């Protein structure tokens, strides 16, 4: 039996992971707490840890895991900005789930966008109170509008396909444009200037942190709608709030927030929220916040569990070779192992 400490476990995680683990000899110990320097001790005696987006997997945590003999950090997410992959090199192997349902995320981005632009959230509340007035509910047609997509990987491209179905003009920016994709790539500044809607689908890196800040917002069209289902740190939330107050940003749809780690995924309804910025954003009539929910479909949960268990099995039963390993050494964190077909260390 391979023993795995499963941090930040939620009710919706358990059925798929229990089923998949039982089928393949992987025993998950579900822990409600997040992984951080204070809770790393709970991993003692485990062969691997399974972590999610708001677990803290910094150098100190990695050193401690290494000291406990933990061999593998299995991310049950695609993004890995919360893991110090460089610090892990030579100590603990890191694997992730590169794709589980890009459709889930792209479709959620569209759901947020339609809800916001057509004021569905307002209408829902009104009709529940038998208020059938339409005042203030005017939206705009997607057809003919320009959408700027930043990041044209798996999710970005599905989002683009859906937008094209609406008859929107799509322009895009990517650090590594996909050749022969038929996507109209433009410089970032032009994307900011021409887009009616901007949707973020790139990873959070040192380069992309706060890529949507005061300067970028200054270049955008008045009334622009900004959608972020990627990572909160892509947006400088204070600058976004200023943009909204100045009536420059027409609406914001946020599934992620830079300081979400202590708030999202939990029921805080009986508490006073200490984050004034998030409170202010939520209080805006043209901001919709969901709690990092874009991935949450049946299909995605099953794929996440299957790939994670597959990653764990390949590591422990395949000489440590796993296609989904993350290793910084060869320059391309995600491609290193696949191209080498050998252990990175």
User: Minimal distance in Å, beta carbon 54 to ligand NAI?
Assistant: 12
3-state secondary structure 250-278: EEEEECCCCCHHHCCCCCCCCCCCCCHHH
User: Minimal distance in Å, beta carbon 148 to ligand NAI?
Assistant: 11
Task: Give the residue with the Cβ less far from ligand NAI, 102 or 250.
Answer: 102
Tell me the catalytic residues: 231, 260, 292
Q: Is residue 245 within 8 Å of 218, Cβ to Cβ?
A: no
Task: Give the residue with the Cβ less far from ligand NAI, 206 or 276.
Answer: 206
Q: Rounded to the nearest 10 degrees, how much is the dihedral formed by the CA atoms of 259, 262, 267, 273?
A: -70
Task: Specify the DSSP class assigned to residue 35.
Answer: P
φ/ψ of residue 172, rounded to 5 = -145, 160
Task: Take residue 136 and report the two structure tokens written for it.
Answer: 């203030």
Task: Give the residue with the Cβ less far from ligand NAI, 109 or 239.
Answer: 109
Task: Give the residue with the Cβ less far from ligand NAI, 196 or 260.
Answer: 260
96 vs 50: CA distance, rounded Å? 10
Task: Give the residue with the Cβ less far from ligand NAI, 9 or 43.
Answer: 9
User: Minimal distance in Å, beta carbon 280 to ligand NAI?
Assistant: 22
User: Where along the sequence are the contacts to ligand NAI (CB under 6 A)?
Assistant: 78-79, 99, 102, 105, 150-156, 173-176, 201-203, 205, 207-208, 229-231, 255-256, 292, 294-295
User: Minimal distance in Å, beta carbon 260 to ligand NAI?
Assistant: 10
Task: Take residue 45 and report the two structure tokens written for it.
Answer: 């005696």
User: Minimal distance in Å, beta carbon 42 to ligand NAI?
Assistant: 25
CB-based burial of residue 177 (10 Å sphere; 0-12 exposed, 13-18 middle, 19+ buried)? exposed
Instruction: Transcribe 127-190 into DSSP letters.
Output: HHTT----TT-----STT-EEEEE--SHHHHHHHHHHHHTT-EEEEE-SSPPTTS---B--HHH
């Amino acid at each position: 039996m391979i023993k795995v400490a499963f941090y930040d476990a939620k009710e919706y995680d358990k059925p798929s992971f229990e089923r998949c683990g039982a089928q393949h000899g992987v025993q998950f110990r579900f822990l409600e707490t997040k992984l951080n320097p204070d809770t790393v001790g709970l991993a003692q005696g485990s062969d691997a840890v399974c972590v999610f987006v708001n677990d803290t997997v910094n150098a100190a945590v990695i050193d401690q895991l290494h000291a406990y003999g933990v061999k593998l950090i299995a991310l049950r997410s695609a993004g890995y900005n919360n893991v110090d992959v460089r610090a892990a090199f030579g100590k603990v192997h890191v694997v992730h789930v590169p794709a589980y349902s890009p459709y889930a995320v792209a479709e959620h981005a569209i759901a947020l966008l339609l809800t916001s632009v057509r004021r569905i959230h307002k209408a829902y509340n009104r009709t529940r109170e038998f208020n059938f007035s339409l005042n203030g509910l005017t939206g705009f047609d997607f057809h003919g509008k320009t959408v700027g997509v930043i990041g044209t990987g798996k999710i970005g491209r599905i989002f683009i396909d859906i937008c094209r179905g609406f008859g929107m003009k799509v322009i895009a920016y990517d650090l590594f444009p996909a050749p022969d994709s038929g996507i109209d790539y433009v410089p970032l500044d032009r994307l900011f200037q021409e887009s009616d809607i901007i949707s973020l689908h790139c990873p959070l890196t040192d380069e992309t942190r706060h890529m949507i800040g005061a300067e970028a917002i200054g270049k955008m069209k008045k009334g622009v709608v900004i959608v972020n289902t990627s990572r909160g740190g892509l947006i400088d939330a204070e600058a976004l709030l200023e943009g909204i107050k100045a009536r420059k940003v027409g609406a914001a749809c946020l599934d992620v927030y830079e300081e979400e780690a202590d708030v999202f995924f939990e029921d805080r309804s009986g508490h006073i929220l200490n984050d004034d910025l998030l409170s202010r954003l939520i209080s805006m009539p043209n901001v919709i916040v969901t709690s990092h929910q874009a991935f949450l479909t049946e299909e995605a949960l099953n794929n996440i569990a299957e790939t994670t268990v597959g990653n764990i099995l390949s590591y422990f039963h395949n000489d440590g070779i796993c296609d989904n390993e993350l290793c910084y050494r060869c320059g391309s964190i995600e491609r290193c192992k696949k191209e080498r077909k050998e252990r990175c260390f």
